[in-house]
């Protein structure tokens, strides 16, 4: 038996949606990202309408509560096609990235049953900082370091340390089961509130508390990943 696949190729255009909140300090800025695209047949509730909702909530909060440092929010397109949107952004805005000290990417949150994780693509002190904040806020999150297969890697490859927040669990990623049924408002809110708690401390600190460095071992991981 043989199977013959017939398909048509279509060229479409995708874009990044960018919004800025101006702070008092225009150096040591922060990036907040989430991708808004999904895969074929998936409704994309968990991957990644959830992260987009977190990001919109943070944007709404910081519009009303202006931070000391400036923030750029990017809803990235084409993540599922190979980080297309974030890689295009980095290529076209390389010089501007020097002003950004840290980024936060949100990719898949809100599951009813699951556990929150944070992956740090940056210095180990960022990992320690997050663990301290989690203890202070009594927020259960598992913190690790390394690279994460999401838009954060595009920016980290260009030298901007990044934190990725995710809530694992049964969300049906890349399948027809990626529906809102497996998500809850309470779970989304809990994750958003912790990210906001961490972000406020960073954005309003007298001195930025974590270094803008990428350890050599992580640089090598990024090289291998993009190769």
Within-domain flag for 80: yes
Residue 86 included in any domain = yes
**What pLDDT score does 220 carry?**
98
- Give the per-residue pLDDT at 27: 85
Q: pTM of the full predicted structure?
A: 0.95
Residue 219 domain flag: yes
Q: What CATH number should be reported for the domain holding residue 131?
A: 3.40.630.10
Residue numbers of the domain that contains 101? 17-226
Distances (CA, A) of 95 to 44, 89, 100, 124, 201: 33, 11, 10, 25, 26
Count of structural domains, the chain: 1
Residue 3: inside a domain: no
What per-residue confidence (pLDDT) applies to 225?
Answer: 96
Q: What is the DSSP letter of 48?
A: I
Q: What is the mean pLDDT of each run of 10 residues along the chain (227 residues)?
A: 91 94 92 97 96 98 97 98 97 96 98 96 98 98 97 98 94 92 96 98 97 97 96
């Amino acid at each position: 038996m043989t199977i013959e696949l017939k398909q048509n190729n279509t060229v479409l255009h995708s874009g990044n949606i960018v919004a800025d909140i101006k702070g008092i300090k225009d150096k040591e800025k922060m990036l907040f990202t989430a991708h808004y695209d999904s895969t074929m047949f998936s409704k994309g509730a968990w991957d990644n309408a959830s992260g987009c909702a977190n990001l919109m909530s943070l944007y709404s909060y910081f519009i009303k509560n202006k931070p000391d440092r400036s923030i750029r929010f990017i809803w990235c397109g084409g993540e599922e096609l190979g980080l297309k949107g974030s890689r295009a952004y980095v290529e076209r805005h390389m010089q501007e990235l020097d002003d950004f000290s840290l980024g936060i990417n949100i990719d898949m949150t809100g599951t009813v049953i699951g556990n929150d994780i944070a992956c740090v693509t940056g210095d180990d002190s960022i990992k320690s900082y997050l663990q301290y904040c989690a203890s202070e806020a009594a927020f259960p999150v598992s913190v690790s370091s390394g690279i994460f297969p999401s838009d954060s890697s595009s920016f980290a490859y260009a030298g901007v340390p990044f934190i990725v927040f995710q809530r694992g669990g049964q969300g049906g990623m890349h399948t027809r089961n990626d529906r809102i049924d497996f998500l809850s408002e309470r779970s989304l809110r809990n994750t958003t509130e912790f990210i906001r708690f961490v972000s406020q401390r960073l954005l309003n600190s007298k001195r930025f508390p974590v270094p803008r460095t990428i350890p050599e071992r992580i640089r090598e991981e990024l090289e291998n990943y993009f190769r």
